[in-house]
Chain A
Amino acid sequence: MPLSIRFKESFKTALAMTIAYGIALGMDWDKPYWAGFAVAFISLATVGQSLNKGALRVLGTLVAVVVALTLIALFPQDRWLFILALSVWVGLCTYMMAGGKYQYFWNVGGFVVVVISASAAPDSVDAFHIAVLRTEETGLGILVYSLVAVLLWPSNSHAEFNAAARKLAAIQHRLFQSYLGLMNGRGDSAEVPSLRAEVVQQQTQFGQLLAAAQTDSYEVWELRRQWRRYQRQTADLTQTLERWRESFAEVQELDLQRLVPDLAAFGAELEGRFAQFERMLANQAPERSPEARDLALNHGEARSLSHFHQAALAVTHSRLQHLERLTRSLFDSLADIKGFGQTVAVSETASSRGAGVVPDPDRLAGAVRVIIILWLAFLGFIYVPDLPGGAGFVSMAVPFGMILAASPQLPIMALFVPAVTGVLFAGLLYVFVMPQLSSFFGLGLMLFAVTFAICYLFAAPRQALGRVFGLAMFVVVTSITNEQTYSFLTVANTALMFPLVFLLLAVSTYFPFDLRPKWALQRLLGRFFRSGEYLLSTMRWDPQRSPSRLDRWRKAYHARELASLPQKLSAWARFIDTKALPGTSAEQVQALVTSLQALTYRMQELLEARANPHAEFIIQELLQDIRAWRLRVQEAFGRLSRDPASGDNQRARAILEDILGRLEARVEETLNKASEEQLSAQDREHFYRLLGAFRGLSETLIGYVANAAAIDWVRWREARF
């Protein structure tokens, strides 16, 4: 009978745990459970993932050891300066941990400093010994687990990575087909939300497996730059598909087949490219190369449309052209990776170039939260006599705080239940089983059996928290050493320490920022509209004049806010307790968040269209009208930033119709009197894109107001415990 992956993975972790303990005890090292900790925390599904996490843990520990010893050496006699310096370091690590790169390195780098400092608290003479002990035992745990993972049923990430790449390409293909159908007025919009969610999920998995596969697969390592470029291009493709879809509302009433005669052939060409992506990812040579296509508009027909319809057409057209270029470069990238084409030079993209460091307020808030937890725990340790756990209370509170800072939406109960269950389970073993054991044979059997049981029972990815806490509590409570002593107080103290740690975490949910989902969501909504308002205000900048460094920095900050807030809002929206908000459903909240994502795309479209060069003639003639429109939209953003529920859907629609009517006449008048020299075809295209982007933004804003009106904001804003 073939063994299941679940069985094999549980067996490997259990074996590594037992061997790590065996070696640590055999060497007579203090605190052998630190080796057990390393095994418990780095065991992941594939060798590559585990090795990556193990490497980050070792590096994080090494950095933490240096920082901890430096801080102890600098402030041996001044606890306040010491804790001040420690909180700066922990805050920095928490901030960096919430970023996209090397999260686990920063996590370990932060809490291990606290662990070493807390362990050395009774006598700083031991600090060096403790630091070295921590390093060697972490190294031991990782080495043992890596060897077990490599030698026993090795599971390479390469196959999983290839499968993830194929699945991502297949889902993007389906999304493209679905959107193409929708643009042509057919197709099923009901399947779109699930497809979009699948694309996002698959993209995340692809990224994780790429990181793992480049560690355990030489083939992927060799092509890691090309794969990274492919990853960026697929992310760009997803965004382009979404922005393309946003433009459908205004073109669906047009006869696209007549206006864009090549549209069917163009669609078939792109469709063919997606099919070739899937072929190449299945290691089959492509049947044909992509043909560069310029999607020509039927200008004669287009001129017969209203100016706003022409503008909508220009926006959709530019998206399709972008899609064409992007799929062509994706084809080249894949052909390069799979050896079916020429090598393509890889260029790294720099983000927010020239704007300097742009801070993220949510990551800063997370860092402040952890610093507060650290200080409260430290003050408790100093001023509360016989605090359960003693210095261990501080070193336990900080890692929990860091987990919560990285995922502030996570309810505290999600951590509390596994932690308490782990303590109770480990307590029973400690009190009733361990005193019966007299040799490593018995102890090893128990270690193996318990680790195997926990890993096997909590094998699903969504049970990861339960697995990690179960193992961690088992390791902490049993506190296995060579001179084992048994005291009920150990279990009682640990059991009492956890409610206190969670009390601290609960306090940090309310102070200094209320991190309950319904309040967090309102704050983020305000920030979203403030950023939108600022970005609209930058449109008055003279394109001829270079903005100051501060202005560039502020613009980069707000652009990043606008791009990232819909995702953050979506994460918070999942935790909104709609039962406590009668009259508001989870679907309504989701619709609100989706309309914000649409607003982001529209704003990005507008800023891009604004950045294009515009004819002097147009600027002179229509500047006042466009400016007046921008100010109306900007004012609406300002109002929504103060009250995200303000605005009247009907009234906003009437105002927009009025503006569109007046502008249509003004544009007609202006374009009629423009000569060929004053207005080239490209100028017209740029102008129509700008006009289309303005209209798109206004329409989406009205859509948001309609979604916001469906929510019972009175109940939402009511204070609740």
Chain B
Amino acid sequence: MQLIPSEFVIGDVYFPPLLIAALVGFFAAWLTTQLLNRYRLSRFFAYPPVVLLSLAVIYTVVFGTFLIPA
């Protein structure tokens, strides 16, 4: 496992990988919920706002672990 944290560099600005993973994770969660709305699958969830939050966390962890590891 890589012990030195890898960072994103845009120009001369360094961004922490978790921030990028969180941004991508939130976008992916939002996209998923739009699709669920589009196909009327949202009605199967008791309280969609919590689902959005949970999806954002799940995606962030998945992306942070596999795609953009620290």
Contact B46 A719 (CB under 8 A): yes
Asked, given contacts A488-B13, A492-B13, A580-B37, whether A720 binds B42 with beta carbons under 8 Å apart, the answer is yes
User: B-side binding surface: helix, strand, loop or mixed?
Assistant: helix
Q: Does B36 contact A (CB under 8 A)?
A: yes
The 0/1 profile, CB within 8 Å of A marked 1, for residues 42-60 of chain B is: 1101111101100000000
CA distance A718 to B41 in the complex (A): 10
A715, closest chain B residue (CB): B40
- Does A718 contact B43, Cβ atoms closer than 8 Å? yes
Instruction: Check if A721 sits within 8 Å of B42, measured CB to CB.
Output: yes
Please name all residues of chain A whose beta carbon is closer than 8 Å to the beta carbon of B40 when the two chains form the complex. 718
Q: Return A578 CB to nearest CB of chain B, in Å.
A: 15
Given A718-B42, A719-B42, A720-B42, residue A510 in contact with residue B49 (CB < 8 A): yes
Digit string of A476-494 for contact with B (CB within 8 Å is 1, else 0)?
0000000000001000100
A511 at interface, CB cutoff 8 A? yes
Q: How many residues of B contact A (CB 8 A)?
A: 15
Residues of A within 8 A of B33 (CB): 721
Q: Check if B43 sits within 8 Å of A719, measured CB to CB.
A: yes
CB within 8 Å: A-B pair count: 28
Closest to A720 in B: B42
Q: Is A514 an interface residue (CB 8 A)?
A: yes
Contact call B37/A514, Cβ cutoff below 8 A:
no
Which has the most chain B C-beta neighbours within 10 Å: A510, A719, A720, A721?
Answer: A721
Alpha-carbon gap, A580 to B43, bound state (A): 13
8 A Cβ contacts from B10-32 to A: 13
Q: How far is the CA of A510 from the CA of B49 in the complex (A)?
A: 7
Minimum C-beta distance from A385 to chain B (A): 12
Once the chains are docked, how many angstroms separate the CA of A507 from the CA of B51? 13
Main secondary structure on A side of the interface with B: loop
> What residue of chain B has the Cβ atom nearest to residue A510's Cβ?
B49
Given contacts A488-B13, A492-B13, contact A720 B49 (CB under 8 A): no
Indicate if the CB atoms of A721 and B13 lie closer than 8 Å. Answer: no
Cβ–Cβ < 8 Å partners of A511 in chain B: 49
Q: Is B34 an interface residue (CB 8 A)?
A: yes
A510 to B37, CA, bound (A): 17
Residues of B within 8 A of A514 (CB): 49
Of all chain A residues, which has the CB nearest B42? Answer: A720
Nearest residue (CB) in B for A718 is B43
Contact of A719 among B13, B34, B48 (CB under 8 A): B48
Please give the distance in Å from B37's CB to the nearest CB on chain A: 5
A721 and B43 in contact, given A488-B13, A510-B49, A514-B49 (Cβ under 8 angstroms):
no
Among residues 678 to 721 in chain A, which have CB atoms less than 8 Å away from a CB atom of chain B?
A: 718-721
Bound CA–CA A488/B37 (angstroms): 40
Q: Closest approach, in angstroms, between the C-beta of A177 and any C-beta of chain B? A: 48
Query: Nearest Cβ in chain B — how far from A387, in angstroms?
Result: 13
Residue of A nearest to B55 (CB): A721
Bound-state Cα–Cα, A492 to B14, Å: 11
Q: Find residues 475-533 in chain A having any chain B CB closer than 8 Å to their own CB.
A: 488, 492, 510-511, 514
- Which single member of A488, A492, A721 contacts B34 (CB below 8 Å)? A721
Tell me the minimal C-beta distance from A414 to chain B in angstroms: 18
Q: Nearest Cβ in chain B — how far from A577, in angstroms?
A: 11
Please measure, in the bound complex, the distance between the C-alpha atom of A721 and the C-alpha atom of B49, giving whole angstroms. Answer: 6
Inter-chain contacts of B52 with A (CB < 8 A) = 721
Quote the shortest CB–CB distance from A649 to chain B (angstroms).
Answer: 27
Chain A positions within 8 Å of B51 at CB level: 721
B44 to A, closest residue via Cβ? A719
**Bound complex: CA of A719 vs CA of B40, how far in Å?**
9
Closest chain B residue to A489, Cβ basis: B13
Q: In the complex, A717 Cα to B36 Cα: how many Å?
A: 16
Within 8 A of B (CB), among A398-419: none
Q: With A and B bound together, what is the CA distance between A721 and B43 in angstroms?
A: 9
Roughly how many angstroms separate A720 CA and B42 CA in the complex, as a whole number?
A: 5
Residue of A nearest to B26 (CB): A503
Given A488, A510, A580, A721, which contacts B36 in the complex, CB threshold below 8 Å? Answer: A721
Of listed A488, A514, A580, A719, residue having the most chain B CB within 10 A: A719
Of B34, B43, B49, B51, chain A has the most CB atoms within 10 Å of the CB of B49
Residues on B with beta carbons closer than 8 Å to the beta carbon of A718: 40, 42-43
CB distance from A517 to the nearest CB of B (A): 15
What are the residues of chain B within 8 A of A719 when measuring CB–CB? Answer: 42-43, 45-48
A510-B42 Cα distance, complex, nearest whole Å: 16
Query: CB-nearest residue of chain A relative to B11?
Result: A488
A510 to B33, CA, bound (A): 15
User: A510–B40 Cα gap in the complex (Å)?
Assistant: 20
B43 nearest CB neighbor, chain A only: A718
Q: Which residue of chain A is the closest to B34 with respect to CB atoms?
A: A721
For residue B46, which residues in chain A have a CB less than 8 angstroms away from its CB?
A: 719
Within 8 A of B (CB), among A253-280: none
The answer for the CA separation of A220 and B42 in the assembled complex, in Å, is 57
Contacts of A492 in B (CB 8 A): 13
B35's nearest neighbour on chain A, judged by CB, is A721
**Shortest Cβ distance from residue B23 to the other chain A in the assembled complex, whole angstroms:** 9
Q: Which B residues are CB-close (under 8 A) to A580?
A: 37
A511→B49 CA distance, assembly (Å): 9
Q: Give the Cβ gap from B33 to chain A, nearest Cβ, in Å.
A: 4
List of B residues within 8 angstroms of A720 by Cβ: 37, 42-43, 48
Contacts of B13 in A (CB 8 A): 488, 492
Chain A residues with CB below 8 A from B45, complex form = 719
Q: Which residue of chain A is the closest to B51 with respect to CB atoms?
A: A721
Contacting residues, chain A, for B43 (C-beta < 8 A): 718-720
Considering residues B45, B48, B51, which has the most beta carbons from chain A within 10 angstroms of its beta carbon? Answer: B48
Complex CA distance for A671 and B43, rounded to whole angstroms: 58
In the assembled complex, the Cα of A514 lies from the Cα of B46 at a distance in Å of 13
Complexed CA–CA distance, A315 and B52 (Å) = 54
Which residues of the partner chain A approach B47 to less than 8 Å between Cβ atoms? 719
Whole-angstrom distance between the Cβ of B49 and the nearest chain A Cβ: 4
Name which residue of chain A comes closest to B36, CB basis: A721
Give every chain A residue within 8 A of B34 (Cβ-Cβ): 721
Q: How far is the CA of A510 from the CA of B54 in the complex (A)?
A: 14
How distant is the Cα of A719 from the Cα of B52 in the complex, in angstroms?
A: 12
Q: List 10 A-B contacts (CB under 8 A).
A: A580-B37, A718-B43, A719-B45, A719-B46, A719-B47, A720-B43, A721-B37, A721-B42, A721-B48, A721-B49
Question: Given known contacts A719-B43, A721-B33, what 6 new A-B pairs fall within 8 Å (CB)?
Answer: A488-B13, A492-B13, A511-B49, A580-B37, A720-B43, A721-B37
**Interface residue ranges, B against A (CB under 8 Å):** 13, 33-34, 36-37, 40, 42-43, 45-49, 51-52
- List the 8 shortest-distance A-B pairs measured between CB atoms, nearest first: A721-B33, A510-B49, A718-B43, A721-B48, A720-B42, A719-B48, A719-B43, A721-B42
